[in-house]
Amino acid sequence: MKFLQNPLVQRLVLLVVVYAILALTVPFFATSGNAYAVLEASALLGIVAAGLAVNMLTGELDLSVGSVAACAGLVAIMMSQHGIYIAVIAAVIPAVLYGMLQGYCIARLQISSLVFTLGTFIGVRGLAYVISDERTLTLALSNLSISMSLRERILIFSPFSLLMIGVLIIAGLLLRYTRVGREIFAIGGARKESRAAGVPQVRPLVISFATSAGLAALAGALASMRGGSAAPGGYETVLLGAVTAALIGGVSLYGGRGSMIGVFIGVLTLQFLLSGLQLLGAPNWAANLTTGLILLAFLGIDLAHGSSPVATALHRSRVRRRSSNTA
């Protein structure tokens, strides 16, 4: 039963249990239509969570992802008459540049990313209000085919949800098999030791913040075009959802631990629960309440595993017990 101690296996079991319970208790949950709906809802969250997970692996947290997604959505809608590809590129490239600059500043100044991104979180949200003139922008009628093409159903997938899975696979492979990927794990797991071992300190952070901003922009642009409208105040809860999904998937807030498979499992677990609530006709606030409770629960689990005082105390007591057994 050794494999049950693997955190990924534990989380997969949790996912299956959640699915099984909901499938048995909630009518219409275990239908292919609902599977499509869950994947569709996961697409936005999954892409944002992938970027945020890369960020969390370096031991940082980009609070500005929701604001970036809102800005990107607005830009994409504005550029939609030039076609979907131009619109997405126009939304993503500025975000990547912004993320690189942000990562560079944080790495060079050695400032807490929470503090720095709090300012950009507010500022970029303001930018969203400025570029939209405080109005909700909608897709022109002649461009509604973009929205249709993003929703098109292929078995239980849509182009958007397939893209989410693609992003997760590519990010996972890059993290695992490239030099920069290993550097990201290294500076997240042990910042001082990695520095002593000669791992560059700036480059991984620049890439990690560029990824979180770029993927947030990609998700925001596509989700806004799929929905046909973008509001400057939108995507406010996406940070909450993405952090929760990453934590469910075993990405640690203390850096250095986590995987893209975990993120996928986390996003699906969260969306299964939210979709179950929706099918039961629960009001809007229930989703908030559930996400918040899950976040705090998994924060507790992360506490017991990461490099927190609680984890150290637990580890010490385990070692003590073992040594007293052998004595």
Partner 1 sequence: MTETGYTPTPSKSPASSKVMRWVYIIGAFIVLAAIGGFFNRAFLTPENGLAILRAAAMSGMVAMGATFITLSGRFFSLALGQTAMFAGVLMAVLMSAGLPFGIAVVLTFAVIILLGALQGGIIAMGANPIVTTLGAGAILAGLAGLATGGKNVPIESAVVEWIGNGRIIGVPTQTWAFLFSVAVAWWVINKTRLGRETILMGANRATAEASGVNVALITILVFIIASIAAGMMGIFEAAQFNKARVMGFDAVDFNVIAAVLIGGTAIQGGRGSPLQSALGAVFIATVQNYMLLLAWSAGVRTVITGALIVVIVVGFHIAGKRKGA
**Contact map string, positions 72 to 111, toward partner 1, x by CB under 8 A:** ---------------------------------x---x-x
Residue 4 burial by CB count (10 A; 0-12/13-18/19+): exposed, middle or buried? exposed
Single residue of 17, 162, 289, 319 touching partner 1 by CB under 8 A: 289
Query: Closer to partner 1 at the Cβ: 190 or 303?
Result: 303
Q: Which is nearer to partner 1, 41 or 295 (CB)?
A: 295
Site string for partner 1, 28-67 (x = CB under 8 A): ---------------------------------x-x----
In whole angstroms, the minimum distance from the beta carbon of 200 to partner 1 comes to 21
CB of 104 to partner 1, least distance (A): 13
Task: Out of 33, 83, 166, 283, point to the residue binding partner 1 (CB under 8 A).
Answer: 283
Nearest residue (CB) to partner 1, 225 versus 251:
251
Residue 17: half-sphere exposure toward Cβ, Cα within 13 Å: 6
Alpha carbons 215 and 166: distance in angstroms, whole number: 12
The residue among 85 and 285 lying less far from partner 1, judged by its C-beta, is 285
Binding pattern to partner 1, positions 299-318, x when CB under 8 A? xx-xx--x-xxxx-------
Residue 274 touches partner 1, criterion: CB under 8 A: no
HEC readout, the chain: CHHHHCHHHHHHHHHHHHHHHHHHHCCCCCCHHHHHHHHHHHHHHHHHHHHHHHHHHCCCCCCCHHHHHHHHHHHHHHCHHHCHHHHHHHHHHHHHHHHHHHHHHHHHHCCCHHHHHHHHHHHHHHHHHHHHCCCCEECCHHHHHHHHHHHCCECCECHHHHHHHHHHHHHHHHHHHCHHHHHHHHHHHCHHHHHHCCCCCHHHHHHHHHHHHHHHHHHHHHHHHHHCEECCCCCCCHHHHHHHHHHHCCCCCCCCCCCHHHHHHHHHHHHHHHHHHHHCCCCHHHHHHHHHHHHHHHHHHHHHHCCCHHHHHHHHHHHHHHHHHHC
Binding segment for partner 1 (CB under 8 A), chosen from 4-12, 75-83, 158-166, 291-299, is 291-299
Minimum CB distance to partner 1 smaller for 181 or for 234: 234
Instruction: Kindly identify the residues of this chain, within the stretch 104-133, that bind partner 1 according to CB under 8 A.
Output: 105, 109, 111-112, 114-116, 118-133
Cβ neighbors of 186 (< 8 A, separation 6 or more) are 194, 197, 199, 204, 256
> Is residue 281 close enough to count as binding partner 1 by CB under 8 A?
no
Nearest approach in angstroms of CB 288 to partner 1 is: 4
Interface with partner 1, residue 240, by CB under 8 A: yes
CB of 177 to partner 1, least distance (A): 29
Task: Give min distance, CB of 267 to partner 1, in A.
Answer: 17
| Residues at the interface with partner 1 (CB under 8 A) | 61, 63, 105, 109, 111-112, 114-116, 118-134, 232, 236-237, 239-240, 243-244, 253, 283-293, 295-296, 299-300, 302-303, 306, 308-311
